[in-house]
């Protein structure tokens, strides 16, 4: 066998190629590294396709590898059996958590950048102005109400009850003073709680986040809004102190029942300032923040109280209160608020808000309004009406009442617009127009005095016909010749109708307007019985000139409007009123209307120790009953009736209203020294000149007896007429043919003529 040389040694010549002529590479063996012997094991096979034969393994090297493999296998099987794979799993989980965390941070950062870019530049961010509040004060400076979008003024953190911020922090954000606007621990706790409960039971927003949402964002729940909320919370924390953020939150957050801020909520639910809230009340307020509408004590007092108990527990856990304090708070009766603001003073507040825009324009800043209201009188007026309605209203079918009391300058000292403001906010004193009935007759008599008649003038109480209208007295009886003073005291319809014919309806309307009635009135004969509708406020204020000596008393409730810093924007100018009645006329009218209370239909209104005057009024079918009267101190009008116009059960002005008037005026004059009415002392009665005149001498004043425009066939809503004993009934309207009375300008029985006097008022007005 021949051999040949190769680079690594000598290959046997017989092994140079296989059957296919391919070269066969020998395996290299040996363990001494010197090139060793070259040999081919018999077990080596030639791979098809010319594969290289395997290299011969060194027995010693193979043994080492096998030994190492056995050792490695032994260790691996040992770890697998003893938990070594767990640590590998932990390492892999940690690795992937880090990876996912990095990618999550990148994703969150991207979202923050994206939604942040959609927001205005941070340099332009500013706290929105709180909606302006209007603080309405009584004459003595006490708060009547707050009005505006919030319903309450802003209160400094140091001024409000300390229990309020403590309660809110304990239940809403325990780490408020330590976090940076977002509370990761609170957020994680809320997420865990919600996951375990399977529903949304806890929120993770901080007070700063809630403030940011309330100030800048919509209430919709979106990812964009949440990201923006967090960014705004960071900005708030950087720009304001914790106390400033908490104060802004407490003065703007919604507490249910249209109350925004702690002051509005405190007055809404407890009728007191946030400065005076006790522990139990503070816990109730803080509890409302979770669900203001659902937990409102005006809607569900039990649920509100249950939530307040949780707040108290949280306050104890935080160390804000002691066990003894929590026992005291839990022993308090649950707060039961009415479904709406309650108290008659809110009728006043509504009236004020109606008038403010006309005085200063749109309200754009916080205002302080000083009013003329005496809260003591206001509360007494409300109590009197409520008591009368409670004790007598049911059996007499009277469901509503109103009252207004005015001093000699026209300042409204008390106003009640209805039985219960919480049930009905409609103001029946200043907005409802109703027929005054016989309470309008003083204007007819005053107009007659101005053309020369006197309280001692005599007229014939007999059937009278005006066009197709024939008014009758309540008792359908006629008294013959009576003085005007007697006729007014006993509210005789026939005499009032005659006086309107003498004076002229248009002149009666002019006098009523001059004294203070602003409503339009129809100048027809039926005005003698008060068929033109007026408000109780204007009717009462028109009686004030009789009280103050003849000066106009423009009704007003606002004295001054100022800004929060004291700048005066408006001040009324009713301190120099014009004279509207001659003092002699005032004196005569006062002496006549005093007799209404002493001898006539208003006996139930008499005041012990005080000289008082007034007039009763009852409208058709007992729909309305009024008494308007005055002393030298106050003029007060009271109305009873029903909103739907249903008939009362024979309620007259001399009955229920007169009794209520008496109760209120006794309380209003308590502690005051009695003084007489203007012109009622030391005055001798004045008689008309001449004797009984013929019927034909009655002035017709150009009336057209056949004109239905002047004398309607049946005036709508004729007034009821009180009899001498104070009872009343509805005027009966009968066809003239049945009554058989005369038609103007013919006489009505016999009348007293008289010459027209020239008075001081005539000289002043050119009359």
> Residue 78 belongs to what H/E stretch?
helix 59-82
Question: Residue 233's closest CA among 214, 261, 208, 254?
Answer: 208
Quick one: CA dihedral 493, 494, 496, 500, positive or negative? positive
Residues near 285 by beta carbon (within 8 Å), at least 6 away in sequence? 164, 167, 168, 255, 262, 265, 266, 269, 277
Question: Residue 208's closest CA among 165, 170, 179, 251?
Answer: 179
Which residues participate in catalysis according to the annotation? 172, 438
Separation of alpha carbons 256 and 622, rounded Å:
42
3-state secondary structure of 103: helix
How many CA atoms within 13 Å lie on the side-chain side of 21?
0
The burial of 706, by beta-carbon neighbours within 10 Å (0-12 exposed, 13-18 middle, 19 or more buried), is given as exposed
Separation of alpha carbons 510 and 504, rounded Å:
10
Query: What is the distance, to the nearest Å, from the Cα of residue 103 to the centroid of all Cα atoms in its chain?
Result: 52
Residues near 461 by beta carbon (within 8 Å), at least 6 away in sequence? 473, 478, 479, 480, 481, 482, 487, 492, 494, 495, 749
Question: Residue 465's closest CA among 737, 260, 703, 131?
Answer: 737
| 3-state SS record for 470-494 | CCCCCCCCCCEEEEHHHHHHCCCHH
Q: How far is CA 70 from CA 74, 75, 77, 79, in A?
A: 6, 9, 10, 14
Q: How far is CA 519 from CA 511, 538, 628, 630, in A?
A: 13, 8, 18, 22
Separation of alpha carbons 128 and 248, rounded Å:
11
Separation of alpha carbons 579 and 167, rounded Å:
60
Separation of alpha carbons 218 and 199, rounded Å:
23
> Residue 367 belongs to what H/E stretch?
strand 367-371
Separation of alpha carbons 582 and 686, rounded Å:
15
The burial of 563, by beta-carbon neighbours within 10 Å (0-12 exposed, 13-18 middle, 19 or more buried), is given as middle
Cis ω on the peptide bond leading into residue 745 (within 30° of 0)?
yes
């Amino acid at each position: 066998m021949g051999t040949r040389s190769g680079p690594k040694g000598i290959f046997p010549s017989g092994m140079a190629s296989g059957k296919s002529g391919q070269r066969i590479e020998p395996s290299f063996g040996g363990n001494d590294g010197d090139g060793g012997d070259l040999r081919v094991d018999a077990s080596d096979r030639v791979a098809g396709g010319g594969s290289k034969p395997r290299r011969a393994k060194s027995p010693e090297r193979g043994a080492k590898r096998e030994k190492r493999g056995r050792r490695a296998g032994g260790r691996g099987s040992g770890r697998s059996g003893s938990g070594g794979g767990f640590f590998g799993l932990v390492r892999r989980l940690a690795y992937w958590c880090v990876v996912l965390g990095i990618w999550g941070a990148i994703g969150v950062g991207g979202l923050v950048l994206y939604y942040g870019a959609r927001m205005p530049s941070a340099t332009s961010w500013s706290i929105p102005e709180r909606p302006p509040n209007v603080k309405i004060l009584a004459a003595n400076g006490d708060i009547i109400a707050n009005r505006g979008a919030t319903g309450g003024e802003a209160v400094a953190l140091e001024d409000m009850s300390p229990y309020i911020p403590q309660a809110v922090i304990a239940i809403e954000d325990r780490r408020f003073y330590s976090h940076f606007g977002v509370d990761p621990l609170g957020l994680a706790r809320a997420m865990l709680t919600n996951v375990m409960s399977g529903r949304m039971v806890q929120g993770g927003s901080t007070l700063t986040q809630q403030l940011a949402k309330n100030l800048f964002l919509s209430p919709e729940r979106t990812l964009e809004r949440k990201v923006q909320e967090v960014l705004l919370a960071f900005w708030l924390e950087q720009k304001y102190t914790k106390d400033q953020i908490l104060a802004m939150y407490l003065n703007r957050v919604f507490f249910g029942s249209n109350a925004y801020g702690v002051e509005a909520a405190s007055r809404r639910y407890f009728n007191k300032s946030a400065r005076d809230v006790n522990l139990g009340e503070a816990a109730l307020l803080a509890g409302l923040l979770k669900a203001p509408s659902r937990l409102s004590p005006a809607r569900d007092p039990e649920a509100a109280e249950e939530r307040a108990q949780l707040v108290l527990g949280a306050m104890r856990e935080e160390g804000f209160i002691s066990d003894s304090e929590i026992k005291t708070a839990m022993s308090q009766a649950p707060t039961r608020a009415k479904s709406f603001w309650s108290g008659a003073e809110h009728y006043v507040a509504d009236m004020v808000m109606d008038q403010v825009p006309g005085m200063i324009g749109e309200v754009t800043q916080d205002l302080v309004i000083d009013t003329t209201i005496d809260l003591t009188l206001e509360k007494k007026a409300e109590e009197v009406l409520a008591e009368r309605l409670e004790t007598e209203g049911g059996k007499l079918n009277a469901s509503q009442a109103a009252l207004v009391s005015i001093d000699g300058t026209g300042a409204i000292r008390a106003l009640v617009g209805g039985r219960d403001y919480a049930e009905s906010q409609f103001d029946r004193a200043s907005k409802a127009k109703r027929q005054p009935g016989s309470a309008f007759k003083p204007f007819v008599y005053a107009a007659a005095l101005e053309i020369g008649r006197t309280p001692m003038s005599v007229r014939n109480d007999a059937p009278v016909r005006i066009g197709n209208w024939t008014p009758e007295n309540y008792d359908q009886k006629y008294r013959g010749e009576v003085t005007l003073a007697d006729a007014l005291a006993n509210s005789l319809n026939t005499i009032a109708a005659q006086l309107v014919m003498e004076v002229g309806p248009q002149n009666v309307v002019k006098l009523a307007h001059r004294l203070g009635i602003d409503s339009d009135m129809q100048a027809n004969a039926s005005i003698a019985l008060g068929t033109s509708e007026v408000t109780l406020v204007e009717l009462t204020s028109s009686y004030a000139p009789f009280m103050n000596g003849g000066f106009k008393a423009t009704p007003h409730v606002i004295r001054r409007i100022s800004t929060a810093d004291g700048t005066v924007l408006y001040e009324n100018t009713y301190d120099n009123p014009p004279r509207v009645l001659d003092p002699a006329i005032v004196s005569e009218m006062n002496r006549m209307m005093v007799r209404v209370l002493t001898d006539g239909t208003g006996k139930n209104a008499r005041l012990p120790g005080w000289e008082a005057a007034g007039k009763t009024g009852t409208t058709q079918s007992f729909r309305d009953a009024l008494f308007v009267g005055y002393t030298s101190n106050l003029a007060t009008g009271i109305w009873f009736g029903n909103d739907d116009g249903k008939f009362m059960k024979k309620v007259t002005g001399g009955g229920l209203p007169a009794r209520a008037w008496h109760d209120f005026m006794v309380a209003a004059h308590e502690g005051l020294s009695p003084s007489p009415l203007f012109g009622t002392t030391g005055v001798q009665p004045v008689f008309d000149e001449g004797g009984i005149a013929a019927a034909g001498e009655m002035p017709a004043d150009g009336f057209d007896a056949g004109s239905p425009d002047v004398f309607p066939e049946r005036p709508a809503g004729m007034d009821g007429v009180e009899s001498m004993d104070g009872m009343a009934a509805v005027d009966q309207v009968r066809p003239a043919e049945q009554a058989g009375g005369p038609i103007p300008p013919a006489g009505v029985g016999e009348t007293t003529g008289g010459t027209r006097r020239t008075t001081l008022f005539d000289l002043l007005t050119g009359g």
